Structure 1
């Protein structure tokens, strides 16, 4: 099933890239967040594809609306999708946007695919297999490698990844309170931030601002299964009554 989901993410990425070179028309959702035709095209392709791959499993997508908690509270298995994570980065045309597809079982991601089509970069993970990064650089053959991360070590200077769009005084307060010596800051968009911890590019991703469950589930899977032994717990809870996430920190192990 993983290979089918990877292919589905790639196809959704192609849908998104068809709009990338055009003048991007931006609408606004009820919460004032941006919405483009690329979001909707990817959404419909993924939802339709998942119905073919796994017809008996419900899907929650950012663009489909959220079923009432009374309906979904007892779900033991469902798909959680952000068809275009990082819409702001898509509009800015900086390449740092992703397709996120996660399979949730017992409120935890057991499979995740994060695809950045403008960067030809794919991260994917499955509980039974581990986490992987696949990169296709211009003029080079495609390279796939297993990725690992380690829990952050406070006794050494660290590298953090932070949002390109969301800096915050709360982040600085957290770093000072915990006594981290930050030697480098990597700015990135979308769920790539979580993946950069999973592949060891950064040591820590503290997120002090709001996110939704579909923003992080696929990246969370990539992080969880990047442990050499066992599983890293992210501390993120899923299928809550309100899908808004509180602050979290990726990289503590």
Structure 2
């Protein structure tokens, strides 16, 4: 039977001589052979036991529990147990990686909110996707990934106030080119500029086009108030004209 000196065993196993000496002192791994001078020599049987010890150590088992587990005389039981534990660890790690990747992806899209937070605040788990679509090719967006849930709640509340102001102007019969509507449009422009991106009147007109570019978007906005999408578009355009002549 081959015999291996402690230094070689340490190198082969990726552990240290000091650790092997400690395992010997506590009776966890006592080499089966010694030289005439009393130096430790490890047999293949010892190496097999060391391999099982290192598996359990990798699973964060304390040494006293490892000793008890190794007293099981059934070697197949060791393998099955280690296999099961490693699979469980792999599943936990995979789950953690998935969560981290989701967070990284969300931050890449510019929203530092979990799917649950997105659902709670905005009523959809895909709010980050909507933001990404709105960003388009623009490269001057604020670093919105730093916004937390409190920020997004404030953004939402502010946006809802703006929507309500447009809707109330429509209900009051105010023209889209009138003072009330253009004031709401200017507040909308400042909202975008505060939270999302530079938005001079010219760019704001580009934003306005999004309200009337897609029939599905028109239908969704018009559910707020009849003609809402066109009204907001026209109010933004009227405000931009006022700004350019003022």
The alignment's TM-score, normalised by the length of structure 2, stands at 0.21
More helix by share: 2
The alignment's TM-score, normalised by the length of structure 1, stands at 0.21
Task: Please tell me whether Structure 1 or Structure 2 has the larger radius of gyration of its CA atoms.
Answer: 2
More strand by share: 1
